[in-house]
Structure 1
Amino acid sequence: MRAESPGPQHEWLDADAGPVVRPYTLTGGRVRPSVCLDVVAFVLAARAVDPATRAALHPEQRRMVELTRRPLPVAELAAELDLALGVVRVLVGDLLARGLVSVHAPAGTTFLPDDNILKAVVSGLRAL
């Protein structure tokens, strides 16, 4: 059973909400990641994470390491954690700098269609 805390109670906060933390507090006020991360880049946790290192991580970072035991795109990681994409990019950059995760960018497209082909497709669609 939980005792009521003394002091004024706020109508906008209920017991189910849990702690409310602003996104910039998770990143230490940083808004840019230390490395450029694509939203479709896959994040994969290191095979073994030292328990002492794991204990020093923020809860969100610990959860990231757990979720990335299998490759997971940055965008999906943000959705799983219910955090803003910018926050996740900064936190993944921190984990990458510590060697706790690796990031695998998707293969770039080497073949781009010619402008003439695209114009022909558009013209064909308009003719329909």
Structure 2
Amino acid sequence: MTARRESRRLVPEFLATSGRARPTRNTLDRLTVLYATGERVPDGLEPPERLVVELALGRAVALAEAAAHLRLPVSIVRVLVSDLVDSGHLKTRAPIPAVQQQEKQLLERVLRGLRAVR
């Protein structure tokens, strides 16, 4: 019974977005890639927003990955991310479509060739 209490949140998820349920932009999906615009986390951000920016500092992170790190639903993180994009703290880009990704077999052949060069 104690394990159940530890996993339960003390604060409801929707309070991370001040009760808002809809993002200001509808172009964000689970695979949208996030980038921080600065080199450090700016002051004045709420804790969930701060964590999203920290995750995106110096690397690309998918929206769904950020949600997993925060242990928040994707819908909540989508609202947070849209606010951070609006305020200029994050940039986003669409995920690479599967058509543009390299074939796994081709990449394996290139890797074998590189190993053979040694």
Instruction: State the one-letter code of the partner of 1:47.
Output: G
CA distance in 1, matches of 2:32, 2:3: 37
Long gaps (5+) in structure 2: 100-118
Identical-pair percentage: 34
Larger fraction in helix: 2
1:35 aligned residue = 25
The equivalent position to 2:78 in structure 1, one of 68, 74, 89, is 89
CA distance in 2, matches of 1:97, 1:60: 16
State the TM-score, normalized to the length of structure 2. Answer: 0.69
State the TM-score, normalized to the length of structure 1. Answer: 0.64
Cα deviation code 1:32-76 (max 9, x no counterpart): 111121110100001245x7xx23111111111110111001111
CA distance in 1, matches of 2:30, 2:3: 33
Alpha-carbon RMSD: 2.7
Q: How many pairs does the alignment contain?
A: 96
2:112 aligned residue = none
Structure ID, larger Rg: 1
1:61 aligned residue = 49
Secondary structure of 2:88's counterpart equals coil
Long gaps (5+) in structure 1: 1-10, 111-128
